Amino acid sequence: MKTLYVKFVVITVGIMVLSSILAFLLSNSYYQQKLKPSNDEKITKIAQSIATFTDEHPKLNLKEYLENISSIGYQIYLVDNSGAESYWGANFREINLPVSTKEYVLKGNTYHGILHFPQETFVTGFFANELKNTIGVPLAHDEKIYALFIRPDIKLLFNEMHLLFGWLLAYTILLSIVMVVFSTKYLVKPISKLTKATKSLSNGDFDVELEINRYDELGELSRSFLRMAQKLEQMDDMRKEFISNISHDIQSPLSNIKGYTKLLENESIGPEERGHYISIVNGEIKRLSTLTTQLLLLASLDRNEDILKKKSFNVGQQIKKLVRNYQWLVSENSIMISYSLPDCEIVGDPSLLNTVWDNLLSNAIKYNKPEGNIEISIEAKGESILVTFQDTGIGLKNTEVERIFDRFYRADTARTQTISGTGLGLSIVWTIVQLHDGHVTVNSIEEKGTTFSVQLPIK
């Protein structure tokens, strides 16, 4: 398979050749339509002025005069009624001229050989050193009639320029090809590096080096590729962390269940202790059930297989109902809840959005301080609504805020070690809000509280 480098060189050289052919055809058309008639007219005037001058000076030495004319850059052919021929200037490459043409000029007519020279010769007809490619005019001198045929001596007039333009064209083509070869290598080199980097990525090596100092499309492509590599590395790290977390979160309750069931097999333990062990086993089973339910929900959200069942519903009433369901837990933790929840109709999936409010409210309760406060509000903002959950809990560090929506992320501090959780709730919140074309933000101050704000379109 041809490399991009070879293809680019071949295509560029092909374009150069094709453009040269098209330029030649266009210039030929211009020559045939404009320059050739103009050149014919110009040479005709010169020939007629020569004939007029010789007619007005009968004592002029015709041969010397025509010799002088030829010396300044013309080829001349002279024939009289008797067929006597004379040539001045450079030799014609072809001297075939029909007798009828000679007689036509001897009768007093003008022969336009340049104008009627065959068009098949293209623009090169200008350089055709042939007798028929001349201007013929009648010439009267010393009571004799001649036919004068004349054309410019191109070799004498333009020989140096002809060579100059020839070498110029040759050097232009040669240097163009050389420059295409080297410039193509410069252009293709970053693409080759990108190909190498892609192979490295496919092998799991995310440490790639690319030239990002360019400010053209290839430079932008390299920068985008590096950003993609960083994202892939982060995703790979998250995948490994996900596997590690899920393994731990499943293995830990299973180990507890296994250990306590063995203890339950011991017939010597009392009823009170047995009931305690059974409640621990049930708690671990509930924890596993919650984890698998959340994992299944996340899998469904990730696939986005028409999971959204949108309809119009009152989000204010929905959150009020949720608050009533948590009233016992709020009272148990001596937490004060205040809310401003006006009736507000939006179009969305009620079930999934209820999961969002459930996660945010349960977190606000779970991470709050004893006798703390929770404020919930809904505010209309043009074509969207803003739902806010604000608590006076333990808050988050800046580094924790940056990762709060990552799956299985749990703040690994002494403040949260005693609080159970899967680390999936806020990831589910973020995913559901994104599916509703909304966005969620978090503001938190350590030891002072956290505010989650969810903005959703009304329709």
For 87, phi then psi, to 5°, come to: -125, 140
Residues 274 and 350 reside in one and the same domain: no
Query: What is the C-alpha separation between 385 and 311, in angstroms, rounded?
Result: 16
Nearest CA to 224 among 198, 192, 202? 198
**Per the domain annotation, does 199 fall within a domain?**
no
Query: What is the C-alpha separation between 417 and 405, in angstroms, rounded?
Result: 18
Residues 63 and 112 reside in one and the same domain: yes
Report pLDDT for 375.
Answer: 93
Assigned token pair, 260: 């306590």
In what helix (H) or strand (E) does residue 231 lie, and over which residues does it extend? helix 217-264
Query: What is the C-alpha separation between 452 and 446, in angstroms, rounded?
Result: 14
Residues in CB range of 179: below 8 A, 6 or more apart: none
Residues in CB range of 376: below 8 A, 6 or more apart: 319, 323, 337, 338, 339, 340, 341, 361, 387, 388, 389, 390
Helix (H, G, I), strand (E, B) or coil at 107: coil
**Per the domain annotation, does 403 fall within a domain?**
yes
Amino acid at 95: I
Residues 292 and 313 reside in one and the same domain: no
**C-alpha separations of 434 from 13, 42, 107, 352 in Å:** 51, 81, 98, 12
Residues 252 and 104 reside in one and the same domain: no
Residues 318 and 293 reside in one and the same domain: no
pLDDT tens-digit map of 403-436? 787 766 666 544 444 445 566 778 888 888 888 8
**Per the domain annotation, does 409 fall within a domain?**
yes
Residues 48 and 75 reside in one and the same domain: yes
**Per the domain annotation, does 200 fall within a domain?**
no
Q: Are strands 449-457 and 439-445 parallel, antiparallel or unpaired?
A: antiparallel
Distance of CA 106 to the CA centre of its chain: 73
Residues 254 and 145 reside in one and the same domain: no
Report the domain count for the chain: 3
Amino acid at 316: G
Domain boundary among 258, 279, 301: 301
- Helices (H) and strands (E) counted in the chain, each on its own, are 12, 12
Residues in the chain: 459
Residues 359 and 389 reside in one and the same domain: yes
Task: State which residues of the chain have pLDDT below 50.
Answer: 1, 413-419
**Per the domain annotation, does 209 fall within a domain?**
no
Query: What is the C-alpha separation between 29 and 18, in angstroms, rounded?
Result: 17
Assigned token pair, 130: 């042939």
Conformation bin of residue 76: beta by default, left when phi > 0, alpha when psi is -120 to 50:
beta
Residues 289 and 314 reside in one and the same domain: no
Cα dihedral 44, 49, 55, 60 in deg (nearest 10): -120
Report pLDDT for 162.
Answer: 56
The CATH number of residue 266's host domain is: 1.10.287.130
Nearest CA to 253 among 409, 415, 420, 365? 420
Domain boundary among 301, 334, 368: 301
Contact 450, 367 (CB under 8 A): yes
**Per the domain annotation, does 370 fall within a domain?**
yes
Kindly report the CA angle at 389 between 388 and 394, in degrees rounded to 5? 140
Residues 83 and 225 reside in one and the same domain: no
Q: Which range marks the domain in which residue 286 is found?
A: 217-301
**Per the domain annotation, does 336 fall within a domain?**
yes
Strand partners, 346: 313
Angle between helices 154-202 and 4-30 (to 10 degrees): 150
Domain boundary among 247, 271, 301: 301
pLDDT tens-digit map of 113-171? 888 887 555 556 667 888 999 999 999 988 889 999 999 987 765 655 556 666 777 78
**C-alpha separations of 298 from 69, 413, 424, 426 in Å:** 99, 26, 8, 11
Residues 285 and 352 reside in one and the same domain: no
Report pLDDT for 453.
Answer: 93
The CATH number of residue 384's host domain is: 3.30.565.10
Residues 137 and 229 reside in one and the same domain: no
